Amino acid sequence: MAAYRSAAGFPRVLHAVKHVCFSKQRCGVIICRYSTVYDPNEKTFDKILIANRGEIACRVIKTCKKMGIKTVAVHSDVDSSAVHVKMADEAVCVGPAPTSKSYLNMDAIMNAIKQTGAQAVHPGYGFLSENKEFAKRLAAEGVSFIGPDTHAIQAMGDKIESKLLAKAAKVNTIPGFDGVVKDAEEAVKIAGEIGYPVMIKASAGGGGKGMRIAWNDEETREGFRFSSQEAASSFGDDRLLIEKFIDNPRHIEIQVLADKHGNALWLNERECSIQRRNQKVVEEAPSTFLDPDTRRAMGEQAVSLAKAVKYSSAGTVEFLVDSKKNFFFLEMNTRLQVEHPITECITGLDLVQQMIRIAKGYKLQHKQSDIPINGWAIESRVYAEDPYKSFGLPSIGRLSQYQEPLDLHNVRVDSGIQEGSDISIYYDPMISKLVTYGKTREEALKIMEEALDNYVIRGVTHNIPLLREIIVHPRFVSGDISTKFLPEVYPDGFKGHMLTAGERRELLATAAALYVAAQLRSQKFLGDLRVSVVPAESRQWELCVELDKGVHMLGVSRSGNNYTVEIDGEKVEVSGEWNLASALLPISINGKHRTIQCLLRTAAGEITLQYLGTSFKLRVLSKLAASLSKHMPEKVPEDTSSILRSPMPGSVVAVSVKPGDNVAEGQEICVIEAMKMQNSMTAAKTAKVKSVHCKAGDTVGEGDLLVELE
């Protein structure tokens, strides 16, 4: 039996929910907030249960409150203090942490619906949002599913059936095999007939899970194995299909909205080409690539498909678009998309409100001619991930400090966490969706750059360094992007921001000024010197600053809050308030505004600064301390060629070796699953296995020893 608690048992912390709309005043004449009128006389539902968690649950609750609808949150036991639980009017625990026992537990959720008397369920995205059995059970109980009917979920949720329907609706489709692939050998045969490269993907999948690209027979066999395992784990359905892989395409999707009366609209496109592991990282609306004719053609085909399956709700038709603007149907997601906020920004529509109205049976309020493209919106997905490992392997931990850049102009943050929240191995590592809006793309990008610099996240590793590098890269700024953007721009993996000579001087000067400001502050208490007999305050310093194994001698002079730093014969002027207790340090460097973050500062002179999005480790010493430090012994780095450590927290799915086995370089040793993505761990050299420190089913942390080689 699910545990039930009323919202009265929770403190009211609506201020902790960092989901805000843009204000009309901030945007001048362009309306970038929701323009929808919430008519109190238009009756929909008295109470809605949100069968989800995190930021999307908070997002749905927000609109429900505007519409005067009471809400019910469901949660696992580890989410009992989550923000979405505190936001909702009522909350019900539906099981332990694993999703299969909580957020995918249909019996527990159905019980929660009965206990609370909810009249409708909004599924958000993921979990049960595209599960036809869940929709059927709701219908049998007379509970409205805020989404399409079971026929549309079945038709579009199955990639094989959806492709056949798309063909019948005269929608452009990708060449491929239209049946279910039985085993790895049949996959190899089909791939050979289609011609490499091919895409192997889960029939019931989405979100990049259960998806692999194969360029030869061996990769097809391996891809079949991993894709079927991920599909079974994520969707409870291991069926796979194979189709031609369109090399170097753009991923552009069309948002559709349809009611139960045969009316359907397309709400323009979203450019989603910046991806890693087939999962989106940065999205924008509109696309720089589409012309009005192509946009209209894609929109009309998307609406044609929606009408063919009698679709009713918000949905998304995804296309691959080649360099000549030929577009091909990829799939239809029968739910609200993660990236829906950027469509809301440029159209002024609240998509959650539209879904609720449609579920109640109302007709669409708008015609196709009413749908505008007002301005430009960009979304960065902020994840608890290490971007230096395969562009983002999951990180876990507690948010020891958390501050969203909501005081900036035209910034929206959709999140479901707050300071003190835990990022665990059980759920998606998304921290938030950071959205910026401008009258032009240039303005939206500039605001995004500033927002990322002002975003404070401590306690977990995050991907802000990667996000910031993407949005300032010349190829992205010019719109020259494809789904291969990341591997093409960073063929050797992401290394962080590469400093120019001028930026290096700025960073060295900032570290030196910060060091001196900290030294001066340590000499004072309540504004006065701690010891009255200390010498008069110095105004000049000679410092040694280490960065990337380089040693730089700096001269620093001070006048009030202004510092002049001489580096290699050049002077750098650094000024600021130097509030060392603040997470953000707004400073001026040679008259140019910068926002930096001091992530670490120790008595040994170690300083870690987040500068231009990337964290840099420096060491600042006085001239005397630097001369003495050379006598200190250095730590010998660990030989990692003979050991295999887990690169991320997760669970061990399989171990392929045992002590005494001989392994070749690149041979699979074990498989780690993190956030439902499986990762093959391989041997760094040819050797004999000395010992194995894990087994299938074990939970491992980042850096845990898995296997030792001789």
The CATH number of domain 250-489 is 3.40.50.10860? no
DSSP 3-state assignment of 159? helix
Q: Does the annotation count 335 as an active-site position?
A: yes
d(CA 295, CA 285): 12
Q: The domain 501-522+537-630 is classified under which CATH number: 3.30.700.30, 2.170.190.11, 3.40.50.150, 3.30.565.10?
A: 3.30.700.30
Residues 6+ apart with CB under 8 A from 572: 505, 506, 508, 509, 564, 565, 566, 589, 590
Note whether 176-244 and 501-522+537-630 share their fold. Answer: no
Say whether pTM exceeds 0.85.
Answer: no
Residue 106, φ and ψ in degrees, nearest 5: -60, -40
CATH number of 176-244: 3.30.1490.20
Domain coordinates in residue numbering, the chain: 47-146, 176-244, 250-489, 501-522+537-630, 643-709
Residues 6+ apart with CB under 8 A from 498: none
CA angle 526, 532, 534 (to 5 degrees): 110
How many CA atoms within 13 Å lie on the side-chain side of 500? 3
CATH number of 643-709: 2.40.50.100
d(CA 41, CA 69): 12
Task: Give the DSSP letter of residue 661.
Answer: -
Residues 6+ apart with CB under 8 A from 67: 38, 44, 353, 356
For the chain, which residues score pLDDT lower than 70? 1-37, 204-209, 233-235, 525-538, 675-676
Q: The domain 47-146 is classified under which CATH number: 3.40.50.20, 3.40.50.261, 1.10.3450.40, 3.40.140.10?
A: 3.40.50.20
H or E element, residue 108: helix 106-116
Residue 353 and residue 460 in contact, taking contact as beta carbons nearer than 8 Å: no
| 314-351: burial string, b at 16+ Cβ within 10 Å, e else | bbbbbbbbeeeeebbbbbbbbbbbbbbbbbbbbbbbbb
- The pLDDT value recorded for residue 205 is 62
Among candidate residues 335, 357, 594, 619, the one labeled active-site is 335
Residue 462 and residue 395 in contact, taking contact as beta carbons nearer than 8 Å: yes
Strand-pairing partners, residue 53, are none
Strand 90-95 with 70-76, pairing: parallel
H or E element, residue 652: strand 650-655
d(CA 403, CA 458): 9
d(CA 451, CA 198): 39
Residue 76 and residue 97 in contact, taking contact as beta carbons nearer than 8 Å: yes
Nearest-CA neighbor of 68 among 53, 48, 50? Answer: 48
d(CA 267, CA 259): 14
Secondary structure E strands in 426-577: 430-438, 456-458, 524-525, 528-529, 540-547, 550-559, 562-567, 570-576
**Residue 487, Cα to own-chain centre: how many angstroms?**
18
CA angle 33, 38, 44 (to 5 degrees): 135
Amino acid at residue number 473: H
Residue 475 and residue 384 in contact, taking contact as beta carbons nearer than 8 Å: no
